[in-house]
Chains A and B, each alone.
Chain A
């Protein structure tokens, strides 16, 4: 009896190792021996960027080839957990580059970690929307204005911001929770920026129209795609996916005269970096036209470099008036908590 348990365990362990070997062979197929090198860039980013359909894998592959180095990638399933993951990394294993920091969290990032100075870059070629003095040690690599996406139907989209609180939209708006989601926080700061002291009152009027407050953008967009909501707070560049890949132009963006918030994604090099030069080189690579094009096409965000989107579906997207929001240094969500309590 005891022998049989041992034999079964051995068989199981052998199967696990056989599968591990098959996986390693599959992953390393076509990799020449010269690629096994000592230099290794440790990159921390969010999983969607490195996904099979994302831009990361191709950028990393070309970077490895051009710089003759290895890139060790650590991802988080949620971009908002990057800073927490970085904290842990400082304890367990250092990181050379953090990719995907949200503009809203930069002051937290600066307060929590020391950062390596930004490498010299040709900023004059950047889109004006991403210029920010608050960026400090961080370099933008993509951006998009945020708005509500809807599918054309038998209803009129909101014309001004206040229309969102009209009874016609009862239980039709999918939002994200600002406590755990960056787009959710963008929406909340947008409301605060536009409504000032009347923010809580506006949220109270909006509340019956909110179909769901999701923990992430992906959840809320999934609900919208499942026809659970008519409006979803998202990126204007979401249209590029529907127009370009689905060939479905019935998806449209709400254009509001008040101006829209902008999400900018940044890359930063922690001061504790070991391969700081490689990290700088990777930052420069991200801003090369080919990488910017890849980010645009696969991450569905506008490129930072001016002119890259010319002639693509991105140049056909509605040009939204942008609005620079005032980002408080300490997070106060009290108005939100009043209307959507814990």
Chain B
């Protein structure tokens, strides 16, 4: 029963590949010249972006330690995650408002990726350190250890497997990035993701696109398997006041990414207001409702899948699979959903929900859930020895301890889904979400009006995230 459930989970995640495999009549292997340069460019760009994101994320983490009250911590976390709440295209537009002409090229792509991911890294480091090393840091401080010695002799040896895993997460995000290299890469900075879109758009070669996507997934898979297994942080984060880790004067830096984006947005909005009333013809209500529905559905499906995962955990093969698997590109996943029978609005919403979940679930699993599940391995073994059933293990041991983490991950998935326009634009046109509306406005000369809609988009994203995080208290009561 459990092995069938495990297999079903794996098959669900592989669904886009499975759909395409039975649809493509003939396969031909692409020449290395068609994919190797793109892969090498993408790997180089992603490695630099991930490394820079980790470095800057670490600085932001140190800056965040200066904020100690629970309310201040909530605001700093929000500020750090803000760049992830808006579609990358609008992050790019925010950046472009700062400099004209903008210095395009590899540097610009890295800066955008750092801006996007450094906050995520800082939040992850914060949870990791407080969960695993809060006590040690406190002891080191009391014993008069220097900050440098703490990082070098205690933290680094203890956390390096987690840092490697965090690097892989950011690396995979940057490797599969689509709009940022396209827009900021200058004349040409091609990633494999861009090549996938090109072969579909200009050649209609789905076999080639699927092979490229599989190649990208395989590359990340091998990388994930070659990394040491991350240590499992404790599931309950008991936060300590650690002034020892903070650096005076850096605290304000925590708001830098959000500030850069918000100022860019304010400049865009001020231009929009000069142009005049631009929102009169826009179906804002419908777009807000559609974004909310989509976000809620994706968040709920994530929650269900996390519970499913809790039910079939532990299993070494599944864990290996989840630690390395990356969903195929949004274009391939979106078009795969179109190949399924078309039965109106609700079915299309379901397809869109599944497509968005297939993209974000493996990432969130790797980032937020996998190591947390690992930490319960021993408890699960003991419970099984004592005769607990698997549902009892899932609902009485795993869920109570992981609920905050799972709800947060579901909230993040909901937030990302509400900001998606790549997959939504492919799968269904019946659900006009805010990002799709913004995309249409840009396509009809109304760039400024599109920028105005960033405000409701951020509000929708934040409300969804807050709903899931806020509900944690209820479901774990």
Contact = CB atoms under 8 A, between A and B. Distances in A.
Interface in A242-261: 242, 245-246
Given A5-B307, A51-B441, A226-B100, A77 B436 contact: yes
A88 B338 contact: yes
B338 A92 contact: yes
Contact of B439 (A15, A77, A112): A77
A16 interface: yes
A275 B127 CA distance: 59
A309 B197 CA distance: 38
B367 to A, nearest CB: 22
Contact of A88 (B183, B339, B349): B339
Interface string A26-46: 110000000000000000000
Interface stretch (B60-68, B146-154, B185-193, B223-231): B185-193
Contacts of B335: 84, 88
A213 interface: yes
B456 interface: no
Interface string B272-309: 00010000011101100110110011011001100100
Interface in A222-239: 222-223, 225-229, 238
Interface in B182-240: 182-183, 186-188, 190, 194-195, 197-198, 200-202, 204
Interface of A: 1-2, 4-5, 8-9, 12-13, 15-16, 19-20, 22-23, 26-27, 47-48, 50-54, 73-78, 80-81, 83-85, 87-88, 91-93, 112, 171, 179-180, 207, 210-219, 221-223, 225-229, 238, 241-242, 245-246, 298-300, 331, 340-342
A81 B335 CA distance: 11
B338 A52 contact: no
B201 A80 contact: yes
A333 B273 CA distance: 42
Interface string B385-429: 000000000011001100000000000000000000100011001
Contacts of A223: 96, 183
Contacts of A246: 275
B218 to A, nearest CB: 20
Nearest to A333: B202
Interface stretch (B51-59, B112-120, B244-252, B340-348): B340-348
21 contacts: A5-B399, A8-B474, A15-B296, A47-B443, A52-B281, A52-B437, A53-B441, A53-B444, A77-B426, A77-B436, A77-B439, A93-B341, A171-B101, A211-B104, A213-B188, A215-B194, A229-B101, A242-B445, A300-B445, A331-B202, A341-B188
B477 A4 contact: yes
Given A4-B474, A15-B296, A26 B286 contact: yes
A290 to B, nearest CB: 19
B312 to A, nearest CB: 17
Contacts of B303: 9
Contact of A76 (B275, B426, B445): B426
B475 A8 contact: yes
A51 B286 contact: no
Given A91-B23, A223-B96, A47 B296 contact: no
A245 B444 CA distance: 12
Given A80-B201, A221-B445, A227-B100, 16 more contacts: A12-B299, A20-B293, A23-B293, A26-B285, A27-B286, A51-B441, A54-B444, A78-B425, A213-B188, A217-B443, A222-B93, A226-B447, A242-B445, A299-B444, A300-B445, A340-B187
A218 B443 CA distance: 5
B440 A47 contact: yes
B293 A214 contact: no
Contacts of A19: 289, 292-293, 296
Contacts of A214: 182-183
A172 B325 CA distance: 42
B340 A92 contact: yes
A48 B96 contact: no
Given A23-B289, A241-B445, A180 B300 contact: no
B38 interface: yes
Given A16-B300, A53-B281, A179 B202 contact: yes
Interface residues of B, number: 74
Interface in B453-477: 471, 474-477
B197 A16 contact: no
Interface string B307-346: 1000000000000000000000000000100111110001
A207 B104 CA distance: 14
Contact of A12 (B96, B204, B275, B300): B300
B104 A5 contact: no
Closest 4 CB pairs of A and B: A77-B425, A75-B429, A51-B440, A48-B443
Contacts of A13: 300
Nearest to A73: B429
A50 B303 CA distance: 35
B375 interface: no
Contacts of A245: 445
A146 to B, nearest CB: 16
Contact of B421 (A5, A77, A216): A77
Nearest to B396: A1
A54 B471 CA distance: 41
Nearest to B392: A2
Contacts of A213: 187-188
Most A Cβ at <10 Å: residue of B101, B190, B346, B476: B101
